[in-house]
A and B are shown apart, each in its own frame.
Chain A
Amino acid sequence: MTTTSTPPTATATTGPAAEPPAGPPDAPFPIRFLPRLPTRFRVPAAFLLGAVLLVGVAPLLLSDFRLGLLAKYLCYGIVAVGVSLAWGRGGLLVLGQGVFFGLGGYAMAMHLKLADAAATGQPLPDFMQLYGTEGGLPWWWQPFANPVFALAMTVLLPMAVAALLGVLVFRRRVKGAYFAILSQALAAALAIWLVGQQATTGGTNGLTDFQGFFGYDLNDPVNQRMVYIVIAIALLLLMALARQLFVSRYGELLVAVRDSEERVRFLGYNPANVKLVAYVAAAGMAGLAGALFVPAVGIISPALIGVVPSIGFVIGAAVGGRASLVGAVLGAIAVAWAQSTLSDAWPAGWTYLQGLLFVVAVGFLPGGLASLRTVLRGRRTPDPGAGTTTKGAAA
């Protein structure tokens, strides 16, 4: 058996007690620890184990600093859930997830800024006073003073943008590569626009230096732990939701569209709608991740959402295994961990490694680490045409 090849990657990457070995049946390793359970209980049990580790054990074992870092990686994990849905299952190469991450993040950050300003009795957020914004608060900032509106916008705004682009692109059957390039151009445009609007968006610096989070003091470690718990629960819920989606009729349809769009069309479905749902859902998840990223990390800026970070969101999923939900999430967390660990100590080396990871993972192991077992057993990665392991083949 070659199972030993998979766990080291997971443990080596996520740090002590950090990994949730939960998930769908195509993740082979957790099942090794639960041999006697009937098949139908294995996934829930693995999920439960992951949840206990993530929510119960990790906060006890990790220092405040490490827990904060883990919270950040989990945000990338949330994005990866969407990437796994849209790219892994749907074959839509989403190179612009930074846009949605950014929209969610900025929506949250704008509210926190306004709340901070209101708490200190200032009419404008601090950076606007610094840049001398004329004419008071811009009109599009004003609604974000309302917490309910701001929270809704963190998810609805990315979904609306994705729906608009998706309708325009998918209805006209704009093909895969075109879609990837357009979504990438969107990321570039948003980042450039944000940098250009220094006075109202903070420009290159972005929005930072938040004091409170819905009445809680963000500088208090206890509240930072609360933010971590919220993020961990959000990740677990979204993974459960995505898994349900994968095993549903819709999930089957999505894979069918990826593998042969024309056949699905001839069967009477509209592939545009199928793709749209996956894209919009992925955008909503990225938006939520961005919104949670802001209180956890304390900054949102164009550098976090431009072309390079947008492709970065895809890296983790590619390395871990785009078609496997757990693989994608663990991969995203692992790559984020590797990035922050290595890029401080050895920035040049990290860039080389990142490039190499991409070349090897996508070029030679299209199913990612999740498919390593299958490949090592001597079976070729199934379906190189789609570049992804299909669900049936990996199970």
Chain B
Amino acid sequence: MTVILNQSFTGVSIGAVLLLIALGLTLTFGQMGVINMAHGEFIMAGAYTTYVLQKPIGDAGLSLLVALPTAFLVAGAMGALLEWLLIRRLYTRPLDTLLVTWGVSLMLQQLARDVFGAPNVQTTAPDLLTGSVTVAGVNLANSRLFILGFALLCVCGLAMVLRATPLGRRIRAVVQNRDLAEVSGIATGRVDRTTFFIGSGLAGMAGVALTLIGPIGPTTGTNYIVDAFLVVVVGGIGRLRGAVITAFVLGLLQSVLEYSTTVSVAKVVVLVGIVAFLQWRPQGLYTVRTRSLV
């Protein structure tokens, strides 16, 4: 029983990491139809931001608090720049955004390698987050609990922004009908850039969270990006609810399968499961109802 609970907690924490990463993707891929392969590198940028800030600040807890907003700004700025330089030329060609941003991701990885060196670096976690609490015989690592809480906080924050703020209304308007939004006086170009800023910023914060669970390196983001895309695909394009459910289900599935088989077999089985799921719901778990064909 304890084993099952332990595995479930591992699954939930894998899910929380996936969720954090997929949140930004849901915005950029889901809402805007841009497949941003450089999303992984924005995660990496967030992680390195933590690493850079920790040296001058010293105190691990304080630097974590400073790193979260800084990483949001750093990664967000990178995302907005990318959108302005390249992606806005490619909105009619979503498949090409995948390839172009992959090129960008290659360059950013190499940049990280040149600046910070190829080997992974380690940041120190605050004392508060290094321990663990035991509930009902289950060992819960504090850092993982923090990530779980943080992921849920981000989901709520994003949902609030999208639902209740003027910015959110504009974003939704552009997603639903770009032309109509444009003639209604919304500067769609600026909305696109803001959306991208938020989506990339979320990736940066995910990167900060990742420093709590392991060393970081130039390929930190790439390791998660394929899984995060799968979360968005299964959850349904642009659906926060779908992303939340899918992230935790995939995380649990992964951890259970890893326990009963091996890591590599688990990956393959999860992929087969996703393809099978898409037979049942080709548009993902939650979909926007439209009258369009397809």
Partners in one complex: yes
Contact surface of A with B, Cβ cutoff 8 Å: 91, 93, 95, 165, 168-169, 172-178, 180-182, 184-186, 188-190, 192-197, 262, 307, 311, 314, 318, 348, 351-352, 354-359, 362-363, 366, 384-387
User: How long is the Cα–Cα vector from A387 to B92 in the complex, in angstroms?
Assistant: 9
Q: Given that A177-B95, A358-B99 are contacting pairs, would A172 and B267 also be in contact in the complex, using a CB cutoff of 8 Å?
A: no
CA distance A76 to B165 in the complex (A): 51
Q: Which of A182, A192, A358 contacts B102 (CB 8 A)?
A: A358
Smallest Cβ-Cβ distance to B270: which chain A residue: A189
Question: Do residues B107 and A195 form an inter-chain contact, with CB atoms below 8 A?
Answer: no
CB of B138 closer than 8 Å to a CB of A: no
Q: What are 6 A-B pairs at a CB distance below 8 A?
A: A172-B279, A181-B229, A182-B274, A185-B226, A196-B265, A348-B114
Chain A residues near B114: list those with CB within 8 A. Answer: 348
Chain A interface, >50% SS class: helix
A192–B35 alpha-carbon span in the complex (Å):
23
Interface residues of B in 190-205 (CB under 8 A from A): none
Known: A188-B267, A362-B96, A363-B100. A168 touches B275 (CB 8 A): yes
Expressed in whole angstroms, the Cα–Cα distance for A180 and B294 within the complex equals 17
**Is B81 on the interface with A (CB-CB < 8 A)?**
no
Contact call B95/A311, Cβ cutoff below 8 A: no
Neighbour of A178 across the interface among B89, B105, B233, B276, CB < 8 A: B233
Given contact pairs A193-B265, A351-B110, A173 touches B35 in the complex (Cβ within 8 A): no
B window 220-250: CB within 8 A of A = 222, 226, 229-230, 233
Query: In the complex the two chains form, is B92's CB within 8 Å of A362's CB?
Result: no
Chain B residues whose C-beta falls within 8 Å of the C-beta of A91 in the assembled complex = 95
B98 an interface residue at 8 Å Cβ cutoff?
Answer: yes
Question: How far, in angstroms, from A366 to B93 measured CA to CA in the complex?
Answer: 10
B106 adjacent to chain A (CB < 8 Å):
yes
Bound-complex Cα distance A165 to B271 (A): 11
Chain A residue contacts of B263, Cβ below 8 A: 192, 196
Query: Can you name the residue of chain B whose Cβ is closest to the Cβ of A387?
Result: B93
Q: Which residues of B contact A (CB under 8 A)?
A: 29, 33, 35, 86, 89-90, 92-96, 98-100, 102-107, 109-110, 113-114, 222, 226, 229-230, 233, 262-265, 267-268, 271, 274-276, 278-279, 282, 293-294
Q: Are B99 and A189 in contact (CB under 8 A)?
A: no
Give complex CA distance A194, B230 in Å.
Answer: 21
Q: Give every chain B residue within 8 A of A174 (Cβ-Cβ).
A: 278, 282
Interface contact A180-B98, CB-CB below 8 Å: yes
Complex partner residue of A175 from B109, B229, B274, B294, CB under 8 angstroms: B294
Contact of B96 among A169, A195, A196, A363 (CB under 8 A): A363
In whole angstroms, what is the CA distance A318 to B233 when docked?
A: 25
Query: Are B230 and A193 within 8 A (Cβ)?
Result: no
- Chain A residues with CB under 8 Å of B274's CB are 182, 185
Whether A189 contacts B267 by the Cβ 8 Å rule is yes
Smallest Cβ distance from A221 to chain B, in angstroms? 36
Give 10 new A-B contacts, CB below 8 A, not counting A193-B265, A366-B96: A91-B95, A174-B282, A180-B95, A182-B275, A185-B230, A311-B102, A351-B106, A354-B103, A355-B106, A363-B89
**Smallest CB–CB gap between B258 and chain A, Å?**
11
Distance from A84 Cβ to chain B, minimum over Cβ atoms (Å): 15
Q: Report yes or no: B233 in contact with A172, Cβ–Cβ below 8 A.
A: no
| Shortest Cβ-Cβ A-B pairs, 7 listed | A358-B103, A196-B264, A355-B106, A355-B107, A351-B110, A355-B103, A172-B282
Cross-chain contact A185 with B271 (CB below 8 angstroms): yes
Write the nearest CB–CB distance from B283 to chain A, whole angstroms: 9
Q: What chain A residues lie within 8 Å of B107 (beta carbons)?
A: 351-352, 355-356
Query: Please, which residues of chain B bring their CB within 8 A of the CB of A186?
Result: 271
A362 touching B233, Cβ below 8 Å: no
Chain A nearest CB: distance from B48 CB in Å?
17
| A184 & B264 in contact (Cβ 8 Å cutoff) | no
Which residues of B lie under 8 Å from residue A355 when comparing CB positions? 103-107, 110
- Whether B110 contacts A352 by the Cβ 8 Å rule is yes
CA distance A382 to B59 in the complex (A): 58
Q: Which residues of B contact A168 (CB under 8 A)?
A: 275-276, 278-279
Task: Indicate if the CB atoms of A262 and B103 lie closer than 8 Å.
Answer: no
A-chain residues with CB within 8 Å of residue B33 when the two chains form the complex = 177
